[in-house]
Homo-oligomer: A and B are copies of this chain.
Amino acid sequence: MDNSYNKLIRPDLLQMLRDNDRQGLTEFCDVLHPGVSASVLDQLEDEQVWEVLDNCDLARRVEIFEFFDLHRQEELVEALDRERLSKLLEEMAPDDRVDLLERMPQERIDALLPLIAQAERNDIRKLLSCEEDTAGAIMTTDYASLPEDITAREAVDRLRQQAPDRETIYYIYILNQARRLDGFISLRDIIMAKPDTTLSDIMKHDVISVYVDDDQEQVAQTLARYDFIAMPVVDHSQRLVGIITHDDVLDVVQEEATEDAYRLGAVQPMEDSYLDTPVGTIGWKRGVWLLFLAVVALVTARVLEHYEKVAEGDQFRFLILFLPLVLASGGNAGSQSATLIIRTLALGELSRTDNVRMALREALIGLMLGGGIAIVAATAAVFWFGLTVTKAIIVSTTVLLVVILGTISGSLLPLLFRRLGMDPALMSNPLIAAIIDVLGVVIYYKVALLALA
């Protein structure tokens, strides 16, 4: 849909720019959904974008601006002078503003801050101090709150005043004197209540909140579990410090899924999207892993060299043929296990008590899978490659052992990483495969030497 919109609107927009058709440009900004305007503008040069956005009021300009991805926002603000940029930042949502500031050079921020109103400045300092990937880093401070002793009718009147500056007015938080969270109420409940009802009679006391230093992934799991539009963030004295909205959680879920996929695929996570990241950076993010894996493969070469000397003679020559099969089977089974476990952990479905159950399951599955492939391998070895039964048994025994080893290490290593407080997905599938390669060679030759020597 984006694409068809783009094709339809872009030529018109460029024509309006050439004609300096101010009215047309204002309409472009005001009539379309800001997200649509942003995706059309995204195809234009930086100066053209500002030329268009100059034709609408600040509030709308910011609405559209916030729909550009961070990478483009960063590029766009480089063209702005201090005055215009400080106005833009003042109007931006606190969470989006801080995300952008975090990507700007410190000198620029220092030059900007004096131009920004005191209240916003404090807000920026507070949010900038939150650690990355925590609830604090994705929350916004623009939440709606009401006292508990007013009626539903009064509540609607007050929300009318608050609405323009609030990220959402659909969830409203009830605070006591100490700004502690006493309860919450949805706008739906307020609308459904008789206008004379006091909020304290309809508010909910069982508020589910997260701490400001909770990990964002955990926050996302909680919001997803309860289907919230927003969720309150409190400090350790239970004071409300912000809210996290559903759209930011959706971004977190995408971001975390991308990071996990990258890690499993042996790519270091990157800040920007794949297409926005320079080739050199991608090369580096991948090269580190590839190089490390190459070193492990050289260890495998060394181990092979050793056993090639020990297992001299023609009766061992067949071993080499099935080496790719043996190593791939173990690595693939390990990748499967690691993928399943890491995804289950990411969805928050695995409690710590399930660990033992899981290891047993994986060992059992390893036995089934290893047994299956062992039979296929043995059959092929005898009937397709014409090997003796002894040799076929060497291959299939190794396959069985290596697959079991793969499932166990593929499932236990991510759990071990979590236990050590590290990201379970740090364990990449190629790394598991590389480890299996080393151990697989040892097992293979040991079995062969035992059977043939």
Contact = CB atoms under 8 A, between A and B. Distances in A.
Contact of A324 (B32, B304, B350, B365): B304
A150 interface: no
Nearest to A211: B1
A452 interface: no
A148 interface: no
A273 B349 contact: yes
Interface in A273-326: 273-275, 279, 282-283, 286-287, 289-291, 293-295, 297-298, 300-302, 304-305, 308, 317, 320-325
B283 A376 contact: no
| Category for how many chain A residues contact B | 35 or more
A35 interface: yes
A453 B239 CA distance: 78
Given A324-B301, A328-B433, A350 B267 contact: no
A36 B208 contact: yes
A342 B335 CA distance: 17
B35 A225 contact: yes
Nearest to A250: B224
A225 B421 CA distance: 33
B206 A192 contact: no
A18 interface: no
Contacts of A31: 205-206
B192 A164 contact: yes
Contacts of A327: 324
B429 A336 contact: no
Contact of A344 (B257, B274, B343): B274
A261 interface: yes
B35 A329 contact: no
Contacts of A287: 368-369, 372
A77 interface: no
A261 B262 contact: no
A101 interface: no
Contacts of A373: 290-291, 294
A316 to B, nearest CB: 11
A359 B101 CA distance: 34
Contacts of A225: 2, 35, 39, 67
A246 interface: yes
B293 A429 contact: no
Contact of A3 (B304, B351, B376, B384): B351
A328 B434 contact: yes
A125 interface: no
Contacts of A163: 188, 191-192
Contacts of A73: none
A258 interface: yes
A275 to B, nearest CB: 6
Interface of A: 1-3, 31-33, 35-36, 39, 67, 156, 159-160, 163-164, 168-170, 187-188, 191-192, 204-206, 208, 210, 222-227, 229, 246-247, 249-251, 253-254, 257-258, 260-262, 264-267, 273-275, 279, 282-283, 286-287, 289-291, 293-295, 297-298, 300-302, 304-305, 308, 317, 320-325, 327-329, 331-333, 335-336, 338-344, 347, 349-351, 354, 357-358, 361, 364-365, 368-369, 372-373, 376-377, 380, 384-385, 403, 429-430, 433-434, 437, 441
The 3 A-B pairs with the shortest beta carbon distances in the complex, nearest first, are A265-B339, A257-B257, A297-B325
Given A290-B369, A328-B433, 10 more contacts: A33-B204, A33-B206, A257-B261, A286-B365, A294-B376, A298-B377, A302-B385, A305-B321, A308-B320, A328-B430
